[in-house]
Structure 1
Amino acid sequence: MLRLGIDIDGTVTAQDTFVPYLNRSFHLSITLDDMTDYDLTKLLNITAEEFWEWMNVHEAAIYKEAQLAEFAKQALDGLKEEHRLIYITARRSHLEDVTLDWFANRDVHYDHIELVGSHHKVEAVKKHGIDLFFEDHHGNATMIAKEAGIPVILFDSPYNQLPTDSNIIRVQNWLEAVAWINKNKHSLQHVRS
């Protein structure tokens, strides 16, 4: 049994979740392909302070309505039979109820959910003894792979195209992620024991 660390937004949820909200609020017509940087202030031409003011107003509604990423539900349903699913998200603690409701309403299994409130997830990864992490943020993936010394599955996106280390496995979707786990789970279990 592996301890799988899983990011939520852009990993379990669809990567284009924010697009309609951004388009409506900022009178744009962007698509996911336009989001070539994780820092949306550049695309929106606003300050970080303005962005977080916008997030404070819209974040809960966005997370409440977020759609599952393609194949995420079936993949997670299969993984829960063999592994522990520990979600470690940058969401802030005041979003805990919205997050738990989202999981319940979509019948997505979890063994634990930790809202760390920032993109610094390494401490939580170490605390939970994570064997493999799933992420969409390039910086997080790199930091976790290096500082926690574990492989990270990075879900490909226009905003995470920087080069990756050898401990980062780029996949297109959850089916590819599960195939990689099934092929490598014995070596991952061997490393931990």
Structure 2
Amino acid sequence: MKNLNICIDIDGTITNPYFWLDIANKYFNKNITIDEVTEYEIDKVMGITREEYNDFYSKNKLEMHNEQISLRENAKETIEELIKLNNIYFVTARDEDLKIITYSYLKKKNIPYDDVFVLGTSYKVEMAKKLKCDVFIEDSYANALQLSESGFKVLLIDTNYNRKPLNKNIIKVYSWNEIHETIKEMQVNEKAL
């Protein structure tokens, strides 16, 4: 039997969190830098309406989630280690029509997992409950708050857009190596109980 049920977001969590910036800058004829990405919502970063963002996303989502998007440093290696002792579930808010491209991306990058859930919504609490999630790895501050307020432990991987106050169920982490160390500590503490 495996130790922990680990839920992991994809975009911005295992991938480069600013993967969309060049595409959005080109599309909107802007020159926003990574340092200026202090909000999670792309429409707020770009200074556009939500409708303009929705139009942009529908035209560019395949490019924004393709196999060329780079992984965060040590994400793959950490997940390869974690799956040896834990269940790994990818839980993403991606649109449901991105299911095939999501599976293709994980296969192309050789990232192991037990299952993938493409929700089509940013509300992840019900899926976390269903999976009996022990820890959720996330980059969205709003998602981290929602999950933590529902009783889930969250590892919030640092980005420019999620540097906000944390609660007792959220641990800020700065790399996938730190994620690995934090989960190893959780496993030791779990066994001590």
TM interval, short-chain normalised = over 0.9
Could you tell me which residue of structure 1 aligns to residue 147 of structure 2? 144
State the shift of 1:32 in Å. Answer: 2.1
State the shift of 1:186 in Å. Answer: 3.0
Tell me the secondary structure at the aligned position of residue 134 of structure 1: strand
CA contact (8 A) 1:16 1:31 kept: no
User: Which of these residues, 49, 57, 60, is aligned with residue 59 of structure 2?
Assistant: 57
Greater helix share, structure number:
1
CA contact (8 A) 1:154 1:168 kept: yes
Question: How far apart, in 1, do the equivalents of 2:61 and 2:191 lie?
Answer: 37
State the shift of 1:33 in Å. Answer: 1.6
- Worse-superposed segment, 97-106 or 21-30: 21-30
How big is each residue's C-alpha offset from its partner over 1:38-60, in whole Å with a ceiling of 9 and x where there is no partner? 11212212111110111011111
Could you tell me which residue of structure 1 aligns to residue 175 of structure 2? 173
Alignment of 1:37-48 (within 5 A): 37-48=39-50
Question: How far apart, in 1, do the equivalents of 2:105 and 2:130 lie?
Answer: 25
Question: How far apart, in 2, do the equivalents of 1:131 and 1:186 lie?
Answer: 14
Could you tell me which residue of structure 2 aligns to residue 187 of structure 1? 189
State the shift of 1:145 in Å. Answer: 1.1
**AA of the residue aligned to 1:20:** D
**AA of the residue aligned to 1:11:** T
**AA of the residue aligned to 2:86:** H
State the shift of 1:183 in Å. Answer: 1.4
How big is each residue's C-alpha offset from its partner over 1:142-191, in whole Å with a ceiling of 9 and x where there is no partner? 111111x1210000111011101011010111001111111121334677
How big is each residue's C-alpha offset from its partner over 1:57-81, in whole Å with a ceiling of 9 and x where there is no partner? 1111111132111110111111111
> Which ranges in structure 2 are unaligned for 5 or more consecutive residues?
none
**AA of the residue aligned to 1:7:** D
Tell me the secondary structure at the aligned position of residue 70 of structure 2: coil
Q: How many positions carry a matched residue from both structures?
A: 190
Runs of 4+ in 1 over 6 A off after TM superposition: none
**AA of the residue aligned to 1:157:** T
Tell me the secondary structure at the aligned position of residue 129 of structure 2: helix
**AA of the residue aligned to 2:138:** E
Could you tell me which residue of structure 1 aligns to residue 71 of structure 2? 68
User: Which of these residues, 164, 167, 177, is aligned with residue 166 of structure 2?
Assistant: 164
Question: How far apart, in 2, do the equivalents of 1:67 and 1:107 lie?
Answer: 13
CA contact (8 A) 2:32 2:46 kept: no
CA contact (8 A) 2:74 2:176 kept: yes
Could you tell me which residue of structure 2 aligns to residue 105 of structure 1? 108
Question: How far apart, in 2, do the equivalents of 1:74 and 1:29 lie?
Answer: 33
CA RMSD, Structure 1 to Structure 2 (Å)? 1.3
TM-score where L is the length of structure 2:
0.94
Question: How far apart, in 2, do the equivalents of 1:45 and 1:59 lie?
Answer: 19
Question: How far apart, in 2, do the equivalents of 1:140 and 1:188 lie?
Answer: 25
CA contact (8 A) 2:94 2:118 kept: yes
